Amino acid sequence: MAQDVLERGDSVLARHSAGQTYTQAAQALGVTPDQAKKAARLARAFGPEQRHQIGRDVLCHLTAAHLEAAARHPNVDTRVNLTLGAHADGTSSRKLQATVALLLGTGPSGTKSCRSEYNLRTFSGDFDSVAEAAEALVHRGDSGLGIYIAGQRGRGLLRLCSVMKTLIPMIDELGANPEQYRT
Protein backbone atom coordinates (compact mmCIF):
# COMPACT_ATOMS: atom_id res chain seq x y z
CA MET A 1 0.00 0.00 0.00
CA ALA A 2 1.02 3.61 -0.43
CA GLN A 3 1.63 4.15 3.28
CA ASP A 4 4.15 1.29 3.33
CA VAL A 5 6.03 2.69 0.35
CA LEU A 6 6.23 6.13 1.97
CA GLU A 7 7.56 4.66 5.21
CA ARG A 8 10.13 2.68 3.23
CA GLY A 9 11.05 5.89 1.43
CA ASP A 10 11.58 7.65 4.74
CA SER A 11 13.90 4.82 5.82
CA VAL A 12 15.85 5.01 2.56
CA LEU A 13 16.22 8.79 2.87
CA ALA A 14 17.34 8.51 6.51
CA ARG A 15 19.95 5.89 5.60
CA HIS A 16 21.08 7.95 2.61
CA SER A 17 21.50 11.09 4.71
CA ALA A 18 23.53 8.99 7.17
CA GLY A 19 25.98 8.20 4.37
CA GLN A 20 24.67 4.99 2.84
CA THR A 21 24.21 4.67 -0.92
CA TYR A 22 20.77 3.84 -2.27
CA THR A 23 22.06 0.34 -3.02
CA GLN A 24 23.22 -0.15 0.57
CA ALA A 25 19.93 1.19 1.91
CA ALA A 26 18.02 -1.09 -0.44
CA GLN A 27 20.00 -4.14 0.70
CA ALA A 28 19.45 -3.27 4.35
CA LEU A 29 15.69 -2.94 3.76
CA GLY A 30 15.40 -6.03 1.57
CA VAL A 31 14.29 -4.26 -1.62
CA THR A 32 15.88 -3.61 -4.99
CA PRO A 33 17.77 -0.34 -5.59
CA ASP A 34 15.04 0.74 -8.04
CA GLN A 35 12.36 0.13 -5.41
CA ALA A 36 14.40 2.12 -2.90
CA LYS A 37 14.83 5.04 -5.30
CA LYS A 38 11.12 5.03 -6.17
CA ALA A 39 10.14 4.96 -2.50
CA ALA A 40 12.55 7.83 -1.73
CA ARG A 41 11.19 9.86 -4.65
CA LEU A 42 7.61 9.37 -3.42
CA ALA A 43 8.58 10.19 0.17
CA ARG A 44 10.06 13.48 -1.08
CA ALA A 45 6.99 14.23 -3.25
CA PHE A 46 4.64 13.54 -0.33
CA GLY A 47 6.33 15.06 2.70
CA PRO A 48 4.95 14.97 6.26
CA GLU A 49 2.61 17.93 5.71
CA GLN A 50 1.06 16.41 2.58
CA ARG A 51 0.70 13.03 4.27
CA HIS A 52 -1.06 14.69 7.19
CA GLN A 53 -3.46 16.45 4.77
CA ILE A 54 -4.17 13.20 2.95
CA GLY A 55 -4.46 11.09 6.09
CA ARG A 56 -3.13 7.70 7.03
CA ASP A 57 -6.45 5.96 6.31
CA VAL A 58 -6.44 7.20 2.71
CA LEU A 59 -2.78 6.30 2.23
CA CYS A 60 -3.49 2.79 3.52
CA HIS A 61 -6.16 2.31 0.84
CA LEU A 62 -4.25 3.66 -2.18
CA THR A 63 -1.45 1.98 -4.08
CA ALA A 64 2.04 3.22 -4.82
CA ALA A 65 0.89 3.60 -8.44
CA HIS A 66 -1.66 6.21 -7.29
CA LEU A 67 1.12 8.16 -5.58
CA GLU A 68 3.37 7.85 -8.63
CA ALA A 69 0.65 9.27 -10.85
CA ALA A 70 -0.13 12.19 -8.54
CA ALA A 71 3.58 12.87 -7.92
CA ARG A 72 4.02 13.72 -11.60
CA HIS A 73 2.16 16.98 -10.97
CA PRO A 74 4.53 19.79 -9.92
CA ASN A 75 2.04 21.52 -7.60
CA VAL A 76 2.02 20.04 -4.10
CA ASP A 77 -1.57 21.11 -3.33
CA THR A 78 -2.79 19.57 -6.59
CA ARG A 79 -0.99 16.32 -5.70
CA VAL A 80 -2.88 16.22 -2.41
CA ASN A 81 -6.22 16.99 -4.11
CA LEU A 82 -5.62 14.37 -6.80
CA THR A 83 -4.80 11.76 -4.17
CA LEU A 84 -7.82 12.61 -2.02
CA GLY A 85 -10.07 12.67 -5.09
CA ALA A 86 -8.81 9.31 -6.32
CA HIS A 87 -9.57 7.76 -2.94
CA ALA A 88 -13.00 9.39 -2.63
CA ASP A 89 -14.04 8.39 -6.15
CA GLY A 90 -12.39 4.98 -6.21
CA THR A 91 -10.36 6.09 -9.24
CA SER A 92 -7.93 3.51 -10.56
CA SER A 93 -4.26 4.42 -10.77
CA ARG A 94 -4.52 4.21 -14.57
CA LYS A 95 -7.34 6.75 -14.68
CA LEU A 96 -5.43 8.96 -12.27
CA GLN A 97 -2.43 8.78 -14.61
CA ALA A 98 -4.66 9.87 -17.49
CA THR A 99 -6.06 12.74 -15.41
CA VAL A 100 -2.56 13.93 -14.51
CA ALA A 101 -1.54 13.64 -18.17
CA LEU A 102 -4.48 15.87 -19.08
CA LEU A 103 -3.60 18.34 -16.34
CA LEU A 104 -0.01 18.51 -17.57
CA GLY A 105 -0.95 18.51 -21.24
CA THR A 106 1.03 15.35 -21.96
CA GLY A 107 0.12 12.09 -23.61
CA PRO A 108 0.83 8.64 -22.22
CA SER A 109 4.43 8.72 -23.47
CA GLY A 110 5.15 12.05 -21.81
CA THR A 111 5.21 13.98 -25.08
CA LYS A 112 3.06 17.05 -25.48
CA SER A 113 -0.45 16.05 -26.51
CA CYS A 114 -1.38 16.61 -30.13
CA ARG A 115 1.91 18.44 -30.77
CA SER A 116 3.37 15.98 -33.30
CA GLU A 117 1.66 17.59 -36.27
CA TYR A 118 0.07 15.25 -38.82
CA ASN A 119 1.28 12.13 -37.04
CA LEU A 120 -2.04 10.33 -36.96
CA ARG A 121 -0.74 7.39 -34.95
CA THR A 122 0.35 9.68 -32.10
CA PHE A 123 -2.81 11.73 -32.56
CA SER A 124 -5.02 8.68 -32.11
CA GLY A 125 -3.27 7.61 -28.92
CA ASP A 126 -3.48 11.12 -27.55
CA PHE A 127 -7.20 11.33 -28.30
CA ASP A 128 -7.76 8.13 -26.33
CA SER A 129 -5.79 9.42 -23.34
CA VAL A 130 -7.51 12.82 -23.48
CA ALA A 131 -10.91 11.12 -23.67
CA GLU A 132 -10.05 8.90 -20.70
CA ALA A 133 -8.84 11.86 -18.66
CA ALA A 134 -11.91 13.92 -19.61
CA GLU A 135 -14.16 11.03 -18.54
CA ALA A 136 -12.33 10.99 -15.19
CA LEU A 137 -13.03 14.72 -14.81
CA VAL A 138 -16.71 14.15 -15.59
CA HIS A 139 -16.77 11.37 -12.99
CA ARG A 140 -15.23 13.69 -10.37
CA GLY A 141 -17.93 16.29 -10.96
CA ASP A 142 -17.82 20.02 -10.32
CA SER A 143 -15.07 19.93 -7.70
CA GLY A 144 -12.70 17.96 -9.95
CA LEU A 145 -13.43 20.21 -12.88
CA GLY A 146 -12.99 23.32 -10.73
CA ILE A 147 -9.58 22.10 -9.55
CA TYR A 148 -8.55 21.43 -13.12
CA ILE A 149 -9.75 24.74 -14.58
CA ALA A 150 -8.03 26.64 -11.78
CA GLY A 151 -4.84 24.67 -12.41
CA GLN A 152 -1.90 25.09 -14.71
CA ARG A 153 -3.63 23.55 -17.74
CA GLY A 154 -7.15 24.88 -17.26
CA ARG A 155 -6.78 27.20 -20.23
CA GLY A 156 -6.05 24.17 -22.42
CA LEU A 157 -9.29 22.48 -21.35
CA LEU A 158 -11.29 25.60 -22.12
CA ARG A 159 -9.58 25.81 -25.52
CA LEU A 160 -10.43 22.13 -26.16
CA CYS A 161 -14.08 22.80 -25.29
CA SER A 162 -14.15 25.72 -27.68
CA VAL A 163 -12.73 23.61 -30.52
CA MET A 164 -15.14 20.78 -29.73
CA LYS A 165 -18.08 23.15 -30.24
CA THR A 166 -16.96 23.36 -33.87
CA LEU A 167 -15.94 19.72 -34.23
CA ILE A 168 -19.16 18.14 -32.89
CA PRO A 169 -21.42 19.48 -35.69
CA MET A 170 -18.83 18.34 -38.24
CA ILE A 171 -18.86 14.83 -36.75
CA ASP A 172 -22.68 14.89 -36.73
CA GLU A 173 -22.69 15.77 -40.46
CA LEU A 174 -20.58 12.66 -41.14
CA GLY A 175 -23.28 10.55 -39.47
CA ALA A 176 -20.92 9.18 -36.84
CA ASN A 177 -22.37 8.37 -33.44
CA PRO A 178 -19.82 9.30 -30.73
CA GLU A 179 -22.17 8.05 -27.98
CA GLN A 180 -21.48 4.43 -29.00
CA TYR A 181 -17.87 4.89 -27.83
CA ARG A 182 -18.71 6.34 -24.45
CA THR A 183 -17.54 4.24 -21.52
- The answer to whether the beta carbons of residues 152 and 75 sit under 8 Å apart is yes
Average pLDDT over residues 30-49: 96
pLDDT of residue 165: 81
**Which phi-psi region, left, alpha or beta, contains residue 32 (left: φ > 0; alpha: ψ -120 to 50)?**
beta
pLDDT of residue 167: 77
Residue 144: pLDDT band (50, 70, 90) is low
Task: From 7, 122, 105, select the one nearest 56 (Cα to Cα).
Answer: 7
pLDDT of residue 172: 77
Domain boundary assignment for the chain = 46-181
Max mean pLDDT range (62-76, 94-108, 132-146, 153-167): 62-76
The per-residue DSSP string of 10-50 comes to HHHHHHHHTT--HHHHHHHHTS-HHHHHHHHHHHHHS-HHH
Quote the pTM value.
Answer: 0.62
Q: Is the pLDDT of residue 166 over 70?
A: yes
Residue 40: pLDDT band (50, 70, 90) is very high
Using alpha carbons only, what angle is made at residue 66 by residues 62 and 70, rounded to the nearest 5 degrees?
130
Q: Using DSSP, state whether 152 is helix, strand or coil.
A: coil
Average pLDDT over residues 76-105: 87
CA-to-CA separations, 113 to 16, 108, 132, 144, in angstroms, rounded: 37, 9, 13, 21
Which residues does residue 103 pair with via DSSP β-bridges, in sequence order? none
